Structures are given as C-alpha cells and as structure tokens.
Structure 1
Amino acid sequence: MTARKRPAGGGYDPRVGPFPAGRADPEIGPGERLAMNGMGSFDWDLDQGTFDLDEAGLDIFDLRPEEFDGRPDSLVLRVSPEESARLDIALRRALQAGRRSYGGYFQVTRRDGVKQWTHTQGTILRDERGNAYRVLGIVRDATAELTELPVASAPPPRYERRSPSSIVRRTTEALSTAVTVDDVIAVLTGAGGLERFGADGLTLGLSEAGNLKVIAFSGQEMSFYEGLRLRRLDESLPLTQAVVTQQPRFATSFVELAERFPLLRPHIDTGSGFAAAFLPLVAQARSIGGLALFYRHRREFSREDRELCGALAGILAQSLQRAILFDQEREFATGLQASMLPRHIPRFEGAEVAVRYHAARSGREVGGDWYDVIALPQNRVGLVVGDVQGHDTHAAAVMGQLRIALRAYAAEGHPPSTVLARASRFLAELDTERFATCGYAQVDLTTGSVSAARAGHLGPLVRHTDGRTGWPNVRGGLPLGLATALDLHEFPETRLDLVPGETLVFCTDGLVEERGQDITIGMEALAEAVHVGPQAAEALADHLAENLWERWGSGDDVALLILRRAPDTGTSRAPRMHSYVHQADPEGLAEARCALRQALGGWGLARLADDVELAAGELLVNVLLHTDGGAVLTLEVLPDPVRRVRLSVQDRSSVWPRRRSPGEAATSGRGLLMIDALAARWGVEPRGDGKAVWCEFAVGDEDLPAGGGAPAGTSS
C-alpha cells in the first residue's frame, strides 16, 4: 500500500488533512478504507505456506517490511509461541468442522514491549472437494475495544468490566464446554484465561496417589513452580497446604511466604512484590487439586476478593471433577476397545503389512471397528476389516467376539464366502440385535492371487506398480447378522491378482465418510493420498494418518490395514517388471504398453519396444475379451543359456489359445499369427488355476551393453 499524495481539490482526507474546495473527494481504495479504521488484511495460501500481509497489517504487528518474509512463522517476532499455538488450534478446528470462517483475540508484543490486544478474522476458501486452500482475512488493533471502552458505550458481552458477577459468569461459560482435563487446561491457559481471573499468572495441580501433580502453568511469574511439579500432599508448600487443609491461603509478600515455607526459597525472588491466592479445589467434600493465582500489582485481598476466589475455585473444581470422570470413562472404553484388537501382527516373507487404529475424539463412546491379519497355510494371509453397528462398549465387546470367531473360521481353511456366511450366523446367534459390515480377502503371497468378499463393507483400494489407484469391483452381500435374519447367506467372491510391488488398502468407512458429504468424495481423497504416498507400507500408513484422519476420521473410529507385496525387479543382469491389467480398467491397456516401452528403454533394449508392445497388445486384448478376469503381464530378461526378452501374459481361463487360418474377410484370428511372426518362439503353459501365454524375442549384439560379451547362441 503506498501513501496517498495530498489532492489539489477541496474537502478533508482524514489521512492527509484538508484540501482546497471545488474538487471531488479523493478516490479511496478498499485497502485504504481498512487502514483508516485501524485494520490490515492478509492472504494466506495454505498450499504454498505464504502469508501476504499488507502495509496496514504490518503496522498492526509493528513489523518493518524487511522484517517480514511472507511466511507465517515470521510473525513470531511479535506473537508468542503460546498465542500462535492457540490461533493454530482455532484455525484447525474451523478446518475440521468445515466452517467457512474463524476468528479470535490474541496479544501482540510491540517493539517497545507494550502488549497490544489484536483481533483477527478470516474467510476459508475451499475447492470442490472441500479441501481448504486459502484464507482471506483482516487483523485489527482491539486494545480500545477490550480495555478502553467509553463509559457511555456498552462493552461487548465477552469483555465486560471486571465485576465479580461478570468474572464468575465468563468463567462458568468458558468451562461449560470443557469435556476433558485438557479442555479445562486450555480454558485456563488459553486466550483470555488469566484475564477471566483478573490474574497475572496461575498454576493448576491435581491430587494423584498422595501427591500434588502440577499440570498447567500460565504467566511467567509462576515459572518458579517448574521445580515443584510433583510434591507430596503435606503442608510444606502453600498450595499443598491449601489442598490438605481444604482452606485457602492468601499471601501479599514473597518474604513472608519464604519464611513460612522454606522449600520455596531457592525458587522465588523475595525482593519482588506480589500477591497470591492458593486455593483448594474441593468437589463432594474431597480435595481433587489446587489452584494458585498470582497478582503482580495487588497488595491486599478484600473480603469480596476472597469470596470471588472461593467461587472461582468451586466452579473450577466441579468442572475438573466432570473432566476427570470423563477421562477415566474414556480411558476404560478405549482400553476395552484396544484389548479386543490383535496385539501382534505376524510377519510374512514376500509382503509388508501395516495397521493403524484411530479412536473417535467426540464423546466417551467407542465403536466396533476392527482389523485382523491371519497367517494361513501355504504362504497365504487373511486380511479382515469390519465395523459393528453402534458406538458404545457393547459394540466393542461384540466386535471382540466376532473377530475371534471369524479368525477361527478363516484358520480352518474356508474360502472367504464361507467365512463370512459362518460369521453372520455366529453374530445372529449372539442375540445382540447388532449387525456388522466386514471385508475379507485371502492373499496367496507366492502367486499374488487374491480372493475377496464383502458383507456390506467397502472393498479394497489397489495401488498398481506405476502409481495408479483404483477400486476393483468386488462383489458383496448383506451385512453380517442381517444376512442371516433375511436368510441371504450369499457372499460372492471376486478374484484379483496382486503383482509384486502392488498394494492393497482396506479401511472402515470412518476414513472416507463425513456427515453431510458424499462418500465418493472421501474415497477419491483416499485414492489420491495413496497415489502420492510413499511406497513402503508403514510409511504409507503414517502418510494416510497424517493427511486424512484430521479431516475424515475425527468423528468416527477408523481401522486401516495395508498389505504391499514385495517388489520383484530381478537383478541388474536379469531385470524384471510386472503389471496387472484389470478387465474393468479402460486405461490399463495403454498404461501397460507405456510401462513396457519405458522398461525396455531403461534396460537398453529400446530396439525391441515396437515388437514387444504389439505382441503384448494382442495377448492382453485376447484375455480381456475372451475371459472373465484381468491379466498379469510380466516382462523379463533371461540371460541364460541365451540372452533374450520374455513376455508373459497370465489369466485364469483354462481354455488354451489355438492358431487359426482366418479367411481374407475375417476380422479376428490373426493374433497368434502375428506373434509367431514377431517372436523368436512362443508357447503356453499351465499356471495354478489358469494359464500363461509367453513369447521370447532375441537380443542381438547391438543390444549388449558396452563391454559386454556376445551371447552364447540365438533363440529358436
């Protein structure tokens, strides 16, 4: 923003003074109108992390242009870490709740050390998926509003003059929304906490196993308690004495306090003037903790002051008692829930497995989400995710029973359809009137074959070796329990292939579903997060937790299970690549061809790319048109006994291809003739429950790397 020159016309500009008559008022832009009212504006790009603050905004923060580099962290020159963290929490809550705006009061420390009350308000811009990407807002000096309001004007409701009734009312209102002990601490130490009590510092401690454990400080003056965080409940300190005797203690001198309590002498400056109130927190005739309030400029406590302190301590004690009870119940519920989940995840040769569990934050309720990883014979693994209806301890208990039953059915060697059918009958026989959704898959780590079935649950997400992600069309049945009640026990299985390097992601709906949003939005967000996430299973699980739980999983439990089949790249002398082309993926064929060309180029065999790509296209199209499943494509260099390139396409059909002699007018039947002409040799061989059609291409001397020897012979 640049300074406006004095206009030649008449009138009065409040920034530059009077100007001659007979001329129109100067044009005043939106930014200048804000500046005239003590407001600055900012533009915060959340994706880039840049914070554009105009000239008026710099004035409010008392920053020179050269002191601000356009990053939010640079404001730390004027905003304390405590205030900054509180503003971050306000913004994060607004983002999580999907709100369009947020705001708050905070203090700026100006260059001369003066504390300035400041207010900010921002509008959150979101993209079509609901992701916040930008915040546009204003900042303004709110000192006059909060501390220097004219007597004739009514003060805002949250900042009335400090009458005892207003202090009690504001404290009660602030604590009314505190659910956990951490929430109570946030009220005391966050914005306006000290102002509500009219104090310059405070210390909060809780009674715990015969000790007083200090859990919160606010105000630098109380830093002397840093060395007294845990003390036995006796009368050796003023706060512990207040807790033991259930009587408040008021002090107006550090000297007198140090004489009465020698333990304080190494921790306090007896030359400083102050007053302090040490208050017991009593609920139902039992001391649950203590509160110390510090006043820098007070020299006495009137009767009204002592009664006010007692009232505040009583309000705080009641709030803390509720919060402690809530935390205990919450800890019990989440402990019960955690005990129902598997304690150890088995390790498998040829695969990485990662699991995560996220408990909902709202309320004391817990859900029935679970995961399980079951080691099966013949190098197979069973993967389970599920969710029992309801959010209470009963849902968690039912989940534990169902998990054990399903594990037993899987260990008996039954296919997924049978496992889910038996689990449904088991749940119905529990007579809980609860149903459960569930997804179950058996993975053969040797062949990559996957057999999956669903019971009203999400199917798995697959990340391919080239980074593409997709939700395969896994058929499913009704939720467990409900299927038995309706006598519909069909859980059809879907066969998939997981080639080396590909990843399966299972989750419960809490990760992709948010109230009021279409579930497809969350599914797309998960697919994108998996697409850009790291390769390793553990790293990918951390990535999803950090990027999605705050947005989608804060209001519901989430179970996450990831299996990545170990990559098989061969060796530098005999490289190898794999790719899976799903029958329902229209882009898969083109992606496979591109991957083949890139691989051959990387191996120094680009000369063969046209022939190999053409042969692969013929074999893949034959599978996609004439079978009921997808195709596994493998390309590798075979160095012995003769160096050659082998292309293999595997499918689940038992029908072998046969070479035909199509007529001139025929539109099909020439695929094998083309492969016979392009390849040095080709053939068909059985593979498990299907077959593989392969062809080989000779590698000439011109394809050998520099310094390499000639091949021992040629393919035939």
Structure 2
Amino acid sequence: MVDPAADALSLPEDWPAHPDLSLSLNRMGSFDWDLDAGLMHMDEVALAVFDMDPAEYDGRPESLGRRVPPSESVRLDGMVAQALKNGSTHYGTYFRIRTRDGGLRWTHTQGFIRRDGNGRPHRIIGIVRDATQELAESASRREVDVERRRQTSVVESTTAALAHARTVQDVIDVLKDSHGLEHLGATSVVMGLLEAGRIHLVADGPEGSFVPGTRYTRVDENYPMSEVVRTLAPRFIESPEDFAGSYPLLWPHITHLGITAAAYLPLIAQARPIGALGLLYSDKNGFTPDERNVLVALGSSIAQSLQRAMLFEQEHDLAEGLQQAMLPRRIPDIPGAQVAVRYRAARLGRDIGGDWYDVIPLPGGRVGAVIGDVQGHDTHAAAVMGQLRIVLRAYAAEGHTPATVMARASVFLRELDTDRFATCTYMEVDLATGVVQVVRAGHVDPLLRDADGDCRRLPVPGALPLGLSAEFGALDYPVSVLELDPGQTLVLYTDGLVEQPGTDLDEGMQWLTALVRNGPADLRLLADQLCEVVDERGGDDDVAILLLRRRGGHAPQAGGRLRQHVAQNDPEALRSARHMIRAAVRAWGGQERSDEIELAADELITNALLHTDGGAIVTLRMLTGHERRLRVEVEDRSSALPRRRDADPSGLSGRGLLLVDRMADVWGVESRGGGKCVWCEFTLPDRSGEAREIRRDIGPVGPGNETGSRRWRS
C-alpha cells in the first residue's frame, strides 16, 4: 500500500502550477478592464501579444488602437457594445493586429463581464492570445470550404467596414486594411479618382511601388485605369505577358514587383464613372468566374461608399466655409488685452451649427466680448447666427448698456420670424479699470483663470435665451459686475466644449476647469490645447472659444465710460453699481477723493430710486480737457427737477443734495427725453499722482451762486 505522505514528498514544490504560470507558458495574456474608470490593465504577456512595449502603454484602451486596423476596431467595438447591452456575461472573437513591422497576425480574445446588482456592467476580465498557428492549421484542414466562404463573404465584410467611412481617406484606409482584400490574395491596391478628364492617383501600395509620372494621367492614355473608365467595363489581366503586351508604358516600371495578374475595376455611381480600382497579385494566374463576380460586386460597393464620402467632404467643406464666413475675419488688436479665439466644427455629421464669437472695440478703452450659440445644426442656424452677430455688434457699438444690448438682440431675433433661439454671454470690459459688466442669456457660465494659473467658475446670474425672453416679455437682463486684475483671463466657450454624452454639465465644467488650470500660460497655446481635446474627443456639436486676458500697465484713457442700470428693489444691482464706482475711481487715480465720489454717487442713486417710479442708470466717465475730471451721471424717468433744501434737524431727509453740493466741484441737472439726468464732477489729481489743489468753500451755495469753485447748473 502506497503511503500518501511519502508520495506527496515526491511531487514538485510548485505543483500544482499557478494559473498565471499556466497562462504565461501557453502565451495567453490577461486583462482587467475597469469600465467606470476607463482603464485597462494588461499583463506583460498580453502586451507581447499586441507587440507592444510595457513602457508604451498608459493603461487606456485607446492606446491599443494603433495595433488594431480600423476595420477590425469597428467590428470589435460593435461586438463588445452588443454584449454589454444585451446582458451577456461572456464574449469571444478572433481579430487581427498589426505588428511593428507592418504585418498582420490573428489574435483571439474572450472576456467575462461583471455586473452590479442592477445589471450595469462595470468590469471585464479576460484573456488574449496569439491565434495565428491555430487558424493556419484550421485553414489547412478546411481549405476548400474556407475558399468558398472567402469568396462569398468578401463583399459583405468590406461593405460593413465601408459603412463607417466618412471621407475618401477613410475609404482608402478600409481598402488597405480590409481582411476581405487580403483573403483575395491581392498584393497591393491602387485607386484613382476622375477629375476634369484626368485620373488622380489617390492610393498606391506597397511602399516603393509608385510609378513616377502617373499621379495624374489622361483618360485617353494607354493605362489600365484609363481603359476601364473609358469603357466602363472591368479589365482582368491574367498573366505577365498579358500585362506587358497590353500596357507597354506601365509594365517596365512594375516588373520588379513580381506581378502575375491584376484586376482593374471601374468605380461607377449613378451610371457615371468616378474613378477606378486596381488589385495587383503576385501569386495568381487567371480568375475564375466566381472570383470575377465577387470583384465586380466589390467594385460596385466601393463606388457607392466613395461617392458618399466625396459628397460628404464637399458638403462639409461648403458648410464649414459658410460658418467661417459668418465669423469675424480677423480679431482687432486691443490695447491692454490679449485675445485668442478658436472655432471647431463638429466631427460627426456634415451640418454646421450656430456657434459664434466676437470682439468689439468700444470707445474709452473698453471692449465687448461675445460668445453665443444659435439653436440647431444646419445652414439656417448659421444664417441666423450671422445676422444676430451683426446686430449685437451694432447695438454695442452704438453705446447701449450690456443689458440693453441683450434685450434689443432678443427682440431682433424674435422679429426674424424664426423658430430658433440663442444662448449668449456678453461682457463689456473696461481695460483701464478692470471693471467687467456681464450679461448672460441662458448660456454656460464663464471661467476665470488667475495669473498664477488657478481657475474657477464664475456663477453669473442670467435670464432667458435670446428670442425666448422677447417671446415671454422677460427682457430685464441682470448685470453682474466683477473686477479683472492684470494677468487674469476670462474663458468664454459654447456648451459643445463641456457637454458630453453620459455626463452632466457640472462634471463637464469641473473637467474644463481642471484642463484650463493645468494648461499652458500662453493664451494661444491654451486655445490650441482646448481645440486638440475637442478634435480627439469628436462629437456632434460645434465649439467656439474666446479667451481674453487683461494686460498690466494699461493707462486709463480720457473719455472712458462705465454704465450700470439699477432697478428699484434690486439690492444686488445697487451693490454692483457701488462696486463699479469704487473700482473705476481707484483705476482712474482718484483715491484721494474716493470717499467723496462714492458718497455723492450713492446719494444721487438713492434719490432716484426713492423719488421716482423707475430705476436709475448710473454712468461714470472721464472728461477730456486741460484737467482730469470724473463725471457721475444718474438718469431716471421723472421730469421733476430736484431742489436743494435745508434739512430739518429732527428729520432724516433733505441732506442728499446738500452733501453732493458740498463734496462735488460742480453739479447740475439736464432734461433728457422722458426724464432727467442729475450729474456731478470731481477734479482728480494729474497723472503723475500729485494732487491738484482744490479750493474748498463751506459757505452756503445754491442756484445762481458761483461762490468758490463749486457751482450748480441746470
């Protein structure tokens, strides 16, 4: 009787073998794909199957893409997506990879799908292995059946791969990588397109096979592609002698390729030739009837896909040209600011959208920055965008406040008799003071990047999109005021940059904020990086980007102006107006009189809000002349003129105009249409910073009394 203990002592120490060792010795690699994180771990054997160095792999499935031909990638993605969708727990398939030396070899993969309690897939664990030898042995055992299936399925497989081709280059890539053409045994593929009576060679292979002088050939020349285009009939060359005798101009240049047969097919779409396709063979003699039928059908399928791709490129180029024509041809140089703009059309579909940007120079060292998006993705959206951009620019240039610019643009869009609306953000930036007035109409919030690179979202109060606000009579657009310090950058963009399928807007905003924070400091490089991300991601929405950075050392200009509307019962607007006044006084060098100016302006605003039925419009401007004077204007809709009166010692009113009279150098009232404007002026120190001496009178002053330097005017 055998002692089990003694028998166990005779076994190897590593018995039984660990599963990892078993997989490795049999050239089977493993992977673990985290679907939530988008990361895929590949062990060394798995990477070796893909002929990839571990140092080249960054843990993302997309990095394996260069090893998988496009046609195979489409098939693999479709199979995995179907398994995830239909509730499967397993999948498996054979596919080909391209090795470092350019060759193709078969690989097999199978995976197990792990799902959570709700059935949602979140992880795939599987293996990959080299299946070249396995398929070779299988093919040798079933050579006849495989050959028959190969001939009958080539059109279907190639057509399926061509269904995803959108451009001519996509069609060329499919033909070069299509396993159907490889099954036919073709050594190389050549393709030419018919252009103005000439055939333009757009694809040739393999490397070194191009014949000089054949990039463009006439249809009436003695070349095989010219012949099939003229006759609209395929040409099958069954021997080297046939080739040499039929085409003596071409044959001497390709004898080194060892060509023994060739098939040239006319590419016909809608009963007219659009080009020709040539398949060259180095180990074939003659074509069977079945092979000829397969090739003719293949040519028809390729022709349809090629025509579709050509039409797509033509329409997309036309649409993108229209879009570019609607955008500003150039961005003007803005003293005191650096600006970078970009536009990227959608990578999916041929239609264009209504995304736009604009930079508007305004008087007094100010600049308007606009970003917007008209609803829809078609030429009508682009046409509406062009009209809206022009009128919004005109309203801003006329000197209207940001809120009025938005309201008028909304009314204009409503009167266009279109069913489209538009989201928009308009900013008026005073580059001397750094004061920014922002109006948002249903658009995404802008970002602000600091000089040190930190970036944050600016939650700006907004109103309805343009067109809708006029439709519902909600034309009161709130104005937000913020300060832009030298070196800070405003980041404006359309929603195509942050909206992605499967994620909400907040996630997109967080992603963009991190991208801008870690992006290059140079504004143009940052804009380019954002566009590169858009190009890599693709998508079905256009993207417009506008970056504006305030430069340091920009001196304020005479004639500069800031304006803010303050509605009744709107404390936020009143705070914004005070913020604007404080920032303007500081930037214009009026720190020594800032308390007086702020107090006087506050009194005028308060009087307008308390003693009139409507709101007030506050305007600050620098006046030209031999001395620097800051003027504060407060407009309201009441025609009743204010009067200065002595305050009751026990009362709370009557002191407003008295304070203005004491603090301002001069003040007065002007009638303006349906209302009036109460104004006051203050002399500021000169630009060297030396305070200008101002005579201060404390005696009583009033209408007609011009005692000292302070006067009242009406």
TM-score w.r.t. the length of structure 1 is 0.67
Q: Residues 500 and 205 of structure 1: is their aligned pair in 2 closer, same or farther, counting only changes over 3 Å?
A: same
Matched, 1:466 2:462: no
CA distance in 1, matches of 2:66, 2:214: 22
Aligned partner of residue 45 in structure 2, secondary structure: helix
Q: Residues 35 and 448 of structure 1: is their aligned pair in 2 closer, same or farther, counting only changes over 3 Å?
A: same
Superposition deviation, residue 501 in structure 1: 0.7
Partner of 2:195: 208
Instruction: After superposition, give the CA deviation of every residue in 1:225-270 in whole Å (9 maximum; x if it has no partner).
Output: 5752222222321112211221211223445424433332453125
Q: Residues 140 and 549 of structure 1: is their aligned pair in 2 closer, same or farther, counting only changes over 3 Å?
A: same
Aligned partner of residue 432 in structure 1, secondary structure: coil
Partner of 1:165: 152
Aligned partner of residue 486 in structure 2, secondary structure: coil
Partner of 2:359: 373
Q: Which residue, out of 487, 505, 513, partners 1:527?
A: 513
One-letter identity of the residue aligned with 1:528: A
Instruction: After superposition, give the CA deviation of every residue in 1:551-590 in whole Å (9 maximum; x if it has no partner).
Output: 3x622110101111124499xxxxxxxxxxxxxxxxxxxx
Q: Which residue, out of 132, 142, 154, partners 1:143?
A: 132
Aligned partner of residue 443 in structure 1, secondary structure: strand
Q: Residues 219 and 358 of structure 1: is their aligned pair in 2 closer, same or farther, counting only changes over 3 Å?
A: same
CA distance in 1, matches of 2:98, 2:271: 42
Q: Which residue, out of 547, 551, 555, partners 1:566?
A: 551
CA distance in 2, matches of 1:422, 1:354: 27
Q: Residues 223 and 102 of structure 1: is their aligned pair in 2 closer, same or farther, counting only changes over 3 Å?
A: farther
Matched, 1:308 2:297: no
One-letter identity of the residue aligned with 1:106: R
Aligned partner of residue 310 in structure 1, secondary structure: helix
Matched, 1:232 2:215: no
Tell me if the contact between 1:255 and 1:270 (Cα under 8 Å) persists in the aligned partners: no
Superposition deviation, residue 328 in structure 1: 2.1
Matched, 1:438 2:424: yes
Matched, 1:71 2:60: no
Instruction: After superposition, give the CA deviation of every residue in 1:308-334 in whole Å (9 maximum; x if it has no partner).
Output: 211111111122222222222222222
Partner of 1:106: 96
CA distance in 1, matches of 2:201, 2:425: 47
CA distance in 1, matches of 2:439, 2:428: 9
One-letter identity of the residue aligned with 2:18: G
Superposition deviation, residue 633 in structure 1: 13
Partner of 2:231: 245
Partner of 1:423: 409
Tell me if the contact between 2:454 and 2:517 (Cα under 8 Å) persists in the aligned partners: yes
Please give the residue correspondences for 1:348-427 in structure 2 after superposition, counting only pairs within 5 Å: 348-427=334-413
Tell me if the contact between 1:51 and 1:72 (Cα under 8 Å) persists in the aligned partners: no
Q: Residues 228 and 162 of structure 1: is their aligned pair in 2 closer, same or farther, counting only changes over 3 Å?
A: farther
Matched, 1:174 2:136: no
Superposition deviation, residue 655 in structure 1: 3.9
Tell me if the contact between 2:151 and 2:184 (Cα under 8 Å) persists in the aligned partners: no
Q: Which residue, out of 573, 576, 598, partners 1:654?
A: 598
Aligned partner of residue 170 in structure 2, secondary structure: helix
Instruction: After superposition, give the CA deviation of every residue in 1:250-292 in whole Å (9 maximum; x if it has no partner).
Output: 2234454244333324531258242111111111221111100
One-letter identity of the residue aligned with 1:117: W
Please give the residue correspondences for 1:286-685 in structure 2 after superposition, counting only pairs within 5 Å: 286-551=272-537, 554-568=539-553, 654-655=598-599
One-letter identity of the residue aligned with 2:539: S
Tell me if the contact between 2:586 and 2:594 (Cα under 8 Å) persists in the aligned partners: no
Instruction: After superposition, give the CA deviation of every residue in 1:83-124 in whole Å (9 maximum; x if it has no partner).
Output: 567599879999xx9x9999983345599x986323568999
Aligned partner of residue 228 in structure 1, secondary structure: coil
CA distance in 1, matches of 2:415, 2:446: 28
Tell me if the contact between 2:481 and 2:579 (Cα under 8 Å) persists in the aligned partners: no
Q: Which residue, out of 177, 183, 190, partners 1:190?
A: 177
CA distance in 1, matches of 2:71, 2:293: 33
CA distance in 1, matches of 2:322, 2:597: 48
One-letter identity of the residue aligned with 2:204: F
Q: Residues 448 and 9 of structure 1: is their aligned pair in 2 closer, same or farther, counting only changes over 3 Å?
A: farther
Aligned partner of residue 428 in structure 2, secondary structure: strand
Aligned partner of residue 278 in structure 2, secondary structure: strand
CA distance in 2, matches of 1:417, 1:52: 54
CA distance in 2, matches of 1:652, 1:299: 101
Please give the residue correspondences for 1:16-165 in structure 2 after superposition, counting only pairs within 5 Å: 26-35=15-24, 37-41=26-30, 54=43, 56-57=45-46, 60=49, 70-72=55-57, 83=67, 86=70, 105-107=95-97, 116-119=105-108, 138-144=127-133, 146-149=135-138, 162-165=149-152
One-letter identity of the residue aligned with 2:544: A
Gaps spanning 5+ residues in structure 1: where? 1-7, 12-18, 74-78, 126-133, 571-623, 637-646, 657-684, 693-716
Superposition deviation, residue 528 in structure 1: 1.1
Q: Residues 266 and 353 of structure 1: is their aligned pair in 2 closer, same or farther, counting only changes over 3 Å?
A: farther
Superposition deviation, residue 196 in structure 1: 5.3
Partner of 1:611: none
Aligned partner of residue 204 in structure 2, secondary structure: strand
Q: Residues 44 and 653 of structure 1: is their aligned pair in 2 closer, same or farther, counting only changes over 3 Å?
A: farther
Q: Which moved more, 1:249-258 or 1:378-387?
A: 249-258
Superposition deviation, residue 547 in structure 1: 3.1
Tell me if the contact between 1:51 and 1:71 (Cα under 8 Å) persists in the aligned partners: no
CA distance in 2, matches of 1:274, 1:379: 76
Instruction: After superposition, give the CA deviation of every residue in 1:162-192 in whole Å (9 maximum; x if it has no partner).
Output: 4432122222222233333233223212352
Superposition deviation, residue 307 in structure 1: 1.8
Gaps spanning 5+ residues in structure 2: where? 85-90, 115-122, 556-574, 601-627, 634-681, 685-714
Tell me if the contact between 1:51 and 1:70 (Cα under 8 Å) persists in the aligned partners: no
Tell me if the contact between 2:354 and 2:382 (Cα under 8 Å) persists in the aligned partners: yes
Superposition deviation, residue 350 in structure 1: 1.6
Tell me if the contact between 1:119 and 1:139 (Cα under 8 Å) persists in the aligned partners: yes
Superposition deviation, residue 148 in structure 1: 3.6
CA distance in 2, matches of 1:549, 1:40: 33
CA distance in 2, matches of 1:201, 1:82: 21
Q: Which residue, out of 230, 250, 261, partners 1:275?
A: 261
Aligned partner of residue 333 in structure 1, secondary structure: helix
TM-score w.r.t. the length of structure 2 is 0.67
CA distance in 2, matches of 1:349, 1:114: 57
CA distance in 2, matches of 1:543, 1:355: 12
Q: Residues 208 and 458 of structure 1: is their aligned pair in 2 closer, same or farther, counting only changes over 3 Å?
A: same
Instruction: After superposition, give the CA deviation of every residue in 1:442-463 in whole Å (9 maximum; x if it has no partner).
Output: 1112222111101111232111
Aligned partner of residue 423 in structure 1, secondary structure: helix
Superposition deviation, residue 495 in structure 1: 1.0
Instruction: After superposition, give the CA deviation of every residue in 1:27-62 in whole Å (9 maximum; x if it has no partner).
Output: 4334234335531246899xxxx9987553476468
Q: Which has the larger radius of gyration?
A: 2
One-letter identity of the residue aligned with 1:556: D
